[in-house]
A and B are shown apart, each in its own frame.
Chain A
Amino acid sequence: MKAGRSVIARLRGWMTEPMLIAFGVFGSVPFWISEVGLYPYLGVEVLVFCIFALGFNVLFGNTGLPSFGHGAFFGIGAYGMGLTQLHLVPNLWIGLLMATFVAAAFGAAVACFISHRRGIYFALMTIAFSQLFFFIASKWTSVTRGEDGLLNIRRLPADFGIVTFPLRSNAALYWFTFACFIVAVVLLWRLVNSPFGRVLQAIKQNEERVAFLGYDVWLYKWLSFVLSCAVAGFAGGIFAMGQGGAFVQVMSLQWSSVVVLMVLIGGGLVSFWGPVIGTVIYFIARDLLGAYTETWLLWFGLLFMAMVMFKPEGTAGLGANLSRRLMAVRVRAGTASVGAGGTGGM
């Protein structure tokens, strides 16, 4: 009896209700996405950017370090995947590993130069480095094929030894990306709720006090940056397979700011799920507004400005307010008992 409960307790440490809801929603996407007039490949894009944004939020929302150049690492991951399968070995796992590892390695080098910074100086340095990588990628044509893009990146089959799943169709790639999304969500959820995650959140609030408690602030910031770059590279690797190529545009400043936009709109500063919510909003806006007007980004930008002015905590903050108000109503009606300490971080 007791053992059973502790297993459940341990499982609850890895799985939360919002996770189950999110997995349920994304797991049902292939069954209705075509019915509502959208297309399966959109689902791949959404999930890839969800992973990217979740990793980015380790740095941005948790550590409080604004990077406006993370598209560079996403792009490096895409090239890493492409170059590995074109020149090294056409294996999905090795490709993804290389995408992750190479992006992390570049991130590690960059982080050495910026981990003693914070705020606007940190942001400016990330822009400078991402521009550097952008220009290298667009000029070093013998490796990256420059403006043409690195083409013919294949969707390699997922080989599990006994069974092999081809990922050539959009539907199959969606399921694969969905599985990656689940792994990423669970691991990142644990990360932000681990002792390590607490230190990052403490650094965001009061860097100096953390140092006075004996923590090596520089190293934590460095690690946070490297981790977010690794996740960006991983997502970039899948994206390269999705697009069938690696293109220099994703490394541009504009793409880097898109991920910031997603996280802020969704409410990544207050919620673990902010990046996911923001990514979904972004793609829905792109496809729905985009269907009506070429200038959809203008409207999206205005929406973003309104959000920052009236609700800086983003969509997740709005949701939290709403649920608190609902709770208050219910308490007044005497139907619910409120437990103390509802930080939760949902």
Chain B
Amino acid sequence: MALLEAHRLHKRFGDRVVLEAIDLAFEEGRLSGIMGPNGAGKTTCFHVLTGRYRPDGGRIVFDGKDITGLTSRTIARMGISRSFQLMNLFDDFSALENVALAVPERRRQGFRMLRDTRQDSGVADKAVGVLARVGLNGKEHVIARNLSYGDRRALEIGVALAAEPRILFLDEPTSGLGTEATARLADLVRGLKEQLTLVIIEHNMRFLFDLADTVTVIHWGQVIARGTPDALRANKWVKASNLGKLA
């Protein structure tokens, strides 16, 4: 049984059907990719899986537990973490504070009103460690809004990672990155792959096909193909939809 499964997931906005009976399964320890043209429903799919939207039908099962319709807060606490397509940082906080806030230990101290945050050496050490993992060592005290675009992307992943998730969703992590930064990100993701389950939405086919164990192609709110990158390169749907040429 997969770590996270979705059965016949439905989502519509008004009379517009965005997800239609989607079945997904993300195996533990694997890197699963999701691709598809703009407006195919990929990000909506993430939003439904991580509790931002309630599905209109279907079931989501995480580690054997039904999590359909739970709030994003509850889902996050169970070990499902995500980054956002449009960056979603705490702009006035330093890189370190951004990450520290996501550390579960800090969350458990959230109601301590007279404790000095500077005394939390445990949380701070963890946060420094996470920043080093995403390549932001030395930038701990830079305010998030002053970081470069690439560094902000890395911090976004750092925040998601600091929550110590069992499964991590990344929504278009390479968007807006140059070749060099994309290569660095690929190294980072390769390192993460050994430690946790990853699901990545991506337009950059080379990036995704190099890293993913399996890829699911979504179009018009439906799964039109799935398989290993090699199998998909040969798939007629993928070829016909022009996506294959880029890989």
Chain A interface (Cβ within 8 Å of chain B)?
13, 187, 190-191, 193-199, 201-202, 205-206, 208-217, 220, 223, 340-341, 343
Contact = CB atoms under 8 A, between A and B. Distances in A.
Interface in B37-51: 50
20 contacts: A191-B114, A193-B116, A193-B117, A194-B114, A194-B115, A195-B109, A195-B111, A201-B92, A202-B101, A205-B91, A206-B88, A206-B89, A208-B52, A209-B159, A212-B73, A212-B76, A214-B163, A217-B73, A341-B140, A343-B141
A215 B110 contact: yes
B115 A215 contact: no
A196 B101 contact: no
B118 A201 contact: no
Given A205-B93, A212-B81, 8 more contacts: A193-B117, A198-B117, A205-B92, A210-B101, A213-B102, A214-B76, A215-B73, A343-B143
A343 B93 CA distance: 9
Contact of B107 (A191, A214, A217): A214
Interface string B113-133: 111111110000000000000
A217 B71 CA distance: 12
Contacts of B50: 212
A194 B102 contact: no
Given A13-B118, A13-B119, A212-B50, A195 B90 contact: no
B72 interface: yes
Contacts of B119: 13
B117 A214 contact: no
A217 B50 CA distance: 16
A321 to B, nearest CB: 16
Nearest to A219: B111
A213 B94 contact: no
A16 to B, nearest CB: 12
Interface in B64-81: 71-74, 76-77, 81
A216 B114 contact: no
B10 interface: no
Interface centre among B88, B94, B107, B113 (most CB of A within 10 A): B113
Contact of B90 (A194, A205, A223): A205
A136 to B, nearest CB: 31
B90 A202 contact: yes
B5 interface: no
B93 A214 contact: no
A187 B118 CA distance: 16
Given A206-B89, A209-B88, A343 B115 contact: no
A190 B117 CA distance: 9
9 smallest beta-carbon distances between A and B, as pairs: A341-B141, A214-B76, A214-B77, A195-B109, A13-B116, A196-B113, A205-B90, A190-B114, A209-B88
A213 B91 contact: no
Interface centre among A198, A201, A212, A223 (most CB of B within 10 A): A212
Interface centre among A13, A196, A214 (most CB of B within 10 A): A214
A185 to B, nearest CB: 13
A191 B76 contact: no
